[in-house]
């Protein structure tokens, strides 16, 4: 963009936490109130007219972030500011009731599942015109005219064929077009689209994305495109923010993020996408495990337990040690497991995050020997970089890890990255 | 191709004939509007340890075919044609004999693992139930040994053997499902969209596991998916399905680099990948299987359609390099048939409106 980008939405230190209640007994005892940090300190600016991609796996907080942009979830801390052309700065994160409803004329959402987003007992005419009725903007002939216009814009033409149809009469692609028609009928500025094509067939996805691009040009829209699909984000977005466990780990211009991925997580995602290329083989050097529990995130960098490039200061701790021991047992025989299980003893206590965990029940020397054997099995395992010392402790050992660092987003070239490799 | 191959053996005496052989297989459902011909004359075979990918849009009949092969069809559905498993005529078996084969020799892996696991049963109990169903006299030690063996191959530590399903993550549950299927060492497994509910990194892990199955288990796999990328990575051969028919089948590499059928080509073109530089799509929608278009079912959407395509059903032909396809345009391109000028003229096409899209 030649001119300085004009912000339309500012996300500042946004935090969204959810309380998990736990069972009746734990509530009675005052235990078990766990907090899931769905969005944990996100800063992003959406420029007018751009397409910002928010990419992440399920559990990364991308959907919660999208909902927070529209005030659909309560923010725990931080703020979302909408730069209204007429009324100036408005704090979405602090709006309630009528004011929030009024905001819908400016910020709209397209949901993932078009089958669930439409009321099955409303005709397409009623559903698409509903926002105009709710906001008291149009009725009668005017309502009919505007519904027809919106349907035509999204390609549901001839309009007469669709007005009296019910969602169940429509195909998936047609339904998503109707959902988009409903989203644009109030003439909004920003559209937050949460996985708008992931429920659709491959042959239709491109059509809906093309429609969204056409609408953006024709109506001057700004998009937040939330997805787990890096390939469509690459084609569709101007900028991309990669999220992992509630944080943005890398953000920058799409071209740069794809040409030169910096965060190990971004690199892994790019490598993992199954490409329809007959020369490609099954990728083998991919991160192990899955996205961790957001209620008790890993110490240090949240990605370190899966990171192939982790260093000594990434936050190694007791849970990583447990995972390593269990992984070791998936390689040995049942007899080895039986013997070593008694040697190692109980592993449950390792689930409490601890940088100086104690492990072992069958003699310090033997446990030390087992750890050495595990290290020899896979010398490149990054966990060993994090081990500061192994000291004898009764009939086991105490493993001391280097203190971890929680990396913040920092500029690296044209992008921002949260990784200790880019200090 | 001929039944003779069933008896073929290599020098070591190991049977190298097809594990599964379908000839003109049909599956249809009765509905108020008439029969839905979900699988309409499908022929293919699956060799030992081979992974065949089955790809197509939703509603093309790929899931019905997968279930039909295992006899897992709902009431009101019927099968016809020829289906041989290790030489046995599957369609002649009594329901009880079919039931006995399932689980033991034939396995199925579903999309949603959580709905297939009993939340009140420990993993160990799932395994003992599965193993005892087919072998009443199996000992407890034997159950544990076999279960832990297969769990290890799936990368699930033995410490989790007595855990409950909810204590596992999504990817681990899918590994559990695969382990539960493989513990019986079936010769043939259908995996229906096994990674659709998973994230891309976990999906890659599961694809790798499926790809490596043959090393330990010698299992033949039919991998049903709508994701062409998964087929390219994990499968030896691929079958492309459209409106109840297999329109092209061949070595995955060959089909992806030189698709013969226009549908395969357009499906590849419409897939959004990291190399996508422009959006392409197939006009129109897959047909209603109660009343599919005459002759070639793809002709109303086909950019290469000729007059003949709307008049005569294409013939399944060998297109070289191990590929078979049923397409007049491909036949002409390969010089396999000669059409007269009228038949070869481009089909005048009615405008396909957005109104008809999928």
The answer to the question of residue B13 being in a domain is no
- What span, in angstroms and rounded, lies between the C-alpha atoms of B78 and B75? 8
Query: Which of B152, B252, B282 lies nearest to residue A203, judging by beta carbons?
Result: B282
Among B183, B205, B228, residue at a domain's last position: B183
State residue B112's pLDDT score. Answer: 78
Helices (H) and strands (E) in chain B, counts: 11, 12
- What span, in angstroms and rounded, lies between the C-alpha atoms of A31 and A34? 9
- A159: its two tokens: 């309009």
Q: Cβ(B358)–Cβ(A171) under 8 Å? A: yes
Q: Contact A209/B358, CB-based, under 8 Å?
A: no
**Which of A57, A206, A231, A276 to mutate to probe the B interface, most B CBs <10 Å?**
A276
State residue A109's pLDDT score. Answer: 93
Q: What is the chain B residue with the closest CA to A230?
A: B274
- What span, in angstroms and rounded, lies between the C-alpha atoms of A108 and A188? 6
Edge-to-edge strands, sheet with A77-84: A34-47, A7-20, A77-84, A88-91
Minimal Cα–Cα distance from B11 to chain A, Å?
Answer: 31
Does position B117 have pLDDT exceeding 70, yes or no?
A: yes
Among B183, B200, B224, residue at a domain's last position: B183
Domain count, chain B: 2
- Closest listed residue to residue A263, CA positions, set A117, A412, A98: A412
**Which of B51, B256, B272 to mutate to probe the A interface, most A CBs <10 Å?**
B272
The answer to the question of residue B339 being in a domain is yes
The answer to the question of residue B174 being in a domain is yes
Find tokens 């001057």 and name the residue. Answer: A220
State residue A122's pLDDT score. Answer: 95
Minimal Cα–Cα distance from A282 to chain B, Å?
Answer: 5
Neighbour count for residue B208 (Cβ, 10 Å): 17
Q: Contact A282/B207, CB-based, under 8 Å?
A: yes
Please state at what angle helix B200-217 crosses helix B170-182, rounded to 10 degrees.
20
The pTM of this model reads 0.91
Lowest mean pLDDT among A122-126, A246-250, B111-115: B111-115
Largest distance between two CA atoms of chain B? 73
Phi (first) and psi of residue B109, to 5 degrees? -115, 125
Q: Contact A283/B204, CB-based, under 8 Å?
A: yes
Minimal Cα–Cα distance from A271 to chain B, Å?
Answer: 9
3-state SS assignment for residue A224: strand
Residue numbers in A near B145 (CB within 8 A): 334
Q: State the count of interchain CB pairs (< 8 A) between A and B.
A: 182
Tell me the β-bridge partners of B24: none
**Which of B144, B281, B285 to mutate to probe the A interface, most A CBs <10 Å?**
B281
Q: Cβ(B307)–Cβ(B343) under 8 Å? A: yes
- Model confidence pLDDT, tens digit, residues B61-90: 999 999 999 999 988 899 999 999 999 999
Residue B1 binned pLDDT confidence (cut-offs 50, 70, 90): very low
- Closest listed residue to residue A319, CA positions, set A329, A310, A306: A306
Minimal Cα–Cα distance from B340 to chain A, Å?
Answer: 33
Provide DSSP, B64-110: HHHHHHHT---TTEEEEEEEEETTEEGGGS-HHHHHHHBTTTEEEE-
Q: Contact B268/A276, CB-based, under 8 Å?
A: yes
Q: Contact A201/B57, CB-based, under 8 Å?
A: yes
Q: Contact B230/A274, CB-based, under 8 Å?
A: yes
User: What is the DSSP pairing of strand A51-55 with strand A222-227?
Assistant: parallel
Top mean-pLDDT range of A19-23, B274-278, B347-351:
B274-278
Q: Contact A203/B270, CB-based, under 8 Å?
A: yes
Q: Contact B232/A209, CB-based, under 8 Å?
A: no
The question of ipTM being above 0.85 is answered as: yes
Strands of B279-335 (E only): list them.
316-318, 324-326
Q: Contact B145/A334, CB-based, under 8 Å?
A: yes
- Model confidence pLDDT, tens digit, residues A60-86: 999 999 999 999 999 999 999 999 988
Query: Which of A57, A232, A280 lies nearest to residue B199, judging by beta carbons?
Result: A57
Residue numbers in B near A196 (CB within 8 A): none
- What span, in angstroms and rounded, lies between the C-alpha atoms of B220 and B47? 7
Please, what is the Cα angle at A38 between A32 and A44, to 5 degrees?
155
Q: What is the chain B residue with the closest CA to A159?
A: B355
Q: Contact A290/B169, CB-based, under 8 Å?
A: yes
The answer to the question of residue B209 being in a domain is no
State residue A280's pLDDT score. Answer: 76
- Closest listed residue to residue B249, CA positions, set B192, B191, B319, B302: B319
The answer to the question of residue B45 being in a domain is no
State residue B6's pLDDT score. Answer: 40
Does position A284 have pLDDT exceeding 90, yes or no?
A: no
- What span, in angstroms and rounded, lies between the C-alpha atoms of B327 and B317? 8
The answer to the question of residue B34 being in a domain is no
Distances in Å between the Cα of A151 and the Cα atoms of A106, A107, A124, A184, A199 are 19, 19, 9, 10, 21
- Closest listed residue to residue B51, CA positions, set B217, B273, B285: B217
Does position B58 have pLDDT exceeding 90, yes or no?
A: no
Tell me the β-bridge partners of A227: A55
- Model confidence pLDDT, tens digit, residues A381-399: 999 999 999 999 999 999 9
3-state SS assignment for residue A251: strand
Minimal Cα–Cα distance from A343 to chain B, Å?
Answer: 14
- A56: its two tokens: 């992440």
Find tokens 């991609």 and name the residue. Answer: A53
The answer to the question of residue B159 being in a domain is yes
Helices (H) and strands (E) in chain A, counts: 16, 15
Evaluated on CA atoms A342, A347, A348, A354, the torsion sign reads positive
Range of the domain at B300: 268-348
The answer to the question of residue B248 being in a domain is no
| Number of residues written out for chain B | 358
What letter would DSSP give residue A288? P
Residue A29 binned pLDDT confidence (cut-offs 50, 70, 90): low
- B237: its two tokens: 């051969």
Q: Cβ(B263)–Cβ(B330) under 8 Å? A: no
State residue B15's pLDDT score. Answer: 54
State residue A283's pLDDT score. Answer: 77
State residue A223's pLDDT score. Answer: 97
Query: Which of B159, B234, B266 lies nearest to residue A347, judging by beta carbons?
Result: B159
Q: Contact B267/A202, CB-based, under 8 Å?
A: yes
* Burial class (CB within 10 angstroms; exposed 0-12, middle 13-18, buried 19+) of A267: middle
End-to-end CA distance of chain A: 29
Minimal Cα–Cα distance from B26 to chain A, Å?
Answer: 24
3-state SS assignment for residue B290: coil
- Model confidence pLDDT, tens digit, residues A343-395: 999 899 999 999 999 999 989 999 999 999 999 999 999 999 999 999 999 99
Residue A27 binned pLDDT confidence (cut-offs 50, 70, 90): low
Among B150, B183, B216, residue at a domain's last position: B183
Task: Give the HSE-up count for residue A264: Cα atoms under 13 Å, Cβ half-sphere.
Answer: 20
Q: Contact A290/B281, CB-based, under 8 Å?
A: no
Neighbour count for residue A344 (Cβ, 10 Å): 23
Please state at what angle helix A140-153 crosses helix A124-134, rounded to 10 degrees.
120
Residue numbers in B near A288 (CB within 8 A): 205
Strands of A208-310 (E only): list them.
222-227, 239-244, 247-253
Does position B349 have pLDDT exceeding 90, yes or no?
A: no
């Amino acid at each position: 963009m030649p001119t300085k980008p004009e912000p339309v939405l500012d996300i500042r230190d946004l935090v969204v936490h959810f309380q998990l209640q736990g069972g009746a007994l734990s509530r009675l005892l005052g235990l078990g109130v766990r907090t899931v940090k769905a969005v944990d300190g996100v800063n992003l600016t959406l420029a007018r007219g751009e397409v910002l991609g928010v990419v992440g796996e399920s559990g990364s907080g991308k959907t919660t972030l999208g909902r927070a942009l529209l005030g659909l979830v309560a923010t725990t801390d931080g703020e979302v500011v909408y730069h209204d052309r007429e009324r100036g700065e408005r704090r979405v994160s602090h709006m309630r009731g009528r004011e929030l409803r009024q905001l819908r004329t400016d910020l709209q959402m397209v949901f993932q599942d078009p089958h669930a987003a439409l009321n099955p007992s409303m005709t397409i005419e009623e559903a698409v015109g509903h926002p105009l009725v709710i906001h008291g903007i149009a009725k009668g002939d005017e309502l009919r005219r505007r519904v027809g216009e919106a349907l035509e814009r999204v390609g549901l033409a001839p309009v007469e064929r669709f007005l009296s149809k019910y969602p169940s009469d429509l195909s998936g692609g047609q339904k998503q077009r109707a959902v988009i028609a409903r989203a644009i009928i109030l003439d909004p500025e920003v559209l937050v689209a949460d996985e708008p094509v992931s429920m659709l067939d491959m042959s239709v996805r491109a059509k809906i994305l093309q429609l969204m691009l056409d609408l953006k040009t024709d109506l001057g829209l700004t998009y937040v495109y939330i997805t787990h699909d890096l390939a469509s984000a690459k084609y569709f977005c101007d900028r991309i923010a990669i999220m992992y466990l509630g944080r943005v780990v890398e953000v920058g211009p799409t071209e740069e993020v794809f040409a030169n991925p910096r965060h190990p997580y971004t690199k892994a995602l790019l490598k993992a996408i199954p490409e329809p290329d007959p020369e490609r083989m099954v990728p083998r050097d991919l991160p192990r495990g899955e996205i961790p529990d957001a209620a008790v995130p890993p110490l240090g960098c949240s990605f370190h337990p899966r990171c192939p490039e982790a260093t000594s200061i990434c936050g190694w701790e007791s849970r990583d040690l447990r995972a390593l021991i269990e992984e070791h047992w998936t390689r040995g025989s049942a007899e080895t497991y039986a013997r070593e299980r008694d040697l190692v003893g109980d592993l449950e206590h390792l689930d409490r995050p601890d940088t100086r965990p104690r492990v072992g029940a069958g003699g310090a020397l033997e446990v030390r020997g087992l750890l050495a054997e595990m290290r020899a099995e896979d010398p490149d395992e990054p966990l060993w970089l994090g081990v500061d010392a192994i000291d004898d402790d009764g009939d086991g050992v105490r493993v001391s890890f280097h203190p971890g660092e929680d990396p913040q987003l920092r500029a690296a070239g044209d992008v921002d990255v949260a990784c200790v490799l880019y200090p | 191709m001929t039944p003779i191959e069933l008896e073929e053996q290599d020098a070591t005496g190991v049977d190298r004939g097809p594990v599964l052989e379908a000839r003109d297989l049909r599956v249809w459902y009765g509905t108020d509007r008439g029969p839905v011909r979900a699988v309409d004359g499908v022929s293919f075979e699956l060799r030992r340890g081979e992974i065949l990918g089955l790809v197509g849009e939703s509603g093309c009949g790929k899931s019905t075919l997968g279930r039909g092969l295992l006899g897992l069809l709902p009431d009101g559905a019927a099968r016809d044609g020829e289906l041989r498993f290790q030489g046995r005529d599957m369609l002649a078996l009594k329901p009880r004999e079919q039931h006995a084969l399932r689980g033991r020799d034939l396995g199925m892996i579903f999309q949603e693992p959580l709905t297939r696991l009993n939340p009140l049963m420990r993993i160990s109990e799932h395994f003992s139930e599965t193993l005892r169903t087919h072998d009443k006299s199996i000992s407890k030690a034997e159950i544990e040994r076999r279960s832990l063996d297969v769990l290890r191959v799936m990368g699930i530590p033995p410490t989790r053997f007595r855990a409950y399903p909810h204590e596992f993550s999504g990817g681990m549950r899918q590994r559990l499902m695969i382990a539960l299927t493989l513990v019986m060492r079936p010769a043939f497994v259908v995996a229906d969209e096994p990674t659709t509910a998973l994230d891309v990194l976990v999906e890659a892990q599961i694809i790798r596991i499926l790809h490596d199955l043959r090393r330990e288990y010698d299992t033949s796999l039919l991998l049903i998916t709508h994701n062409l990328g998964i087929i390219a990575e994990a499968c030896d051969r691929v079958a492309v399905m459209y409106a109840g028919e297999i329109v092209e089948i061949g070595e995955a590499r060959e089909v992806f680099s030189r698709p013969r059928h226009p549908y395969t080509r357009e499906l590849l073109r419409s897939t959004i990948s990291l190399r996508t530089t422009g959006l392409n799509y197939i006009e129109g929608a897959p047909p209603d299987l109660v009343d599919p278009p005459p002759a070639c079912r793809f002709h109303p959407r086909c950019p290469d359609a000729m007059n003949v395509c709307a008049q005569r059903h294409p013939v399944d032909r060998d297109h070289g390099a191990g590929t078979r396809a049923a397409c007049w345009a491909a036949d002409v391109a390969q010089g396999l048939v000669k059409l007269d000028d009228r038949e070869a003229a481009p089909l005048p096409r009615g405008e396909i409106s957005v109104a008809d899209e999928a």
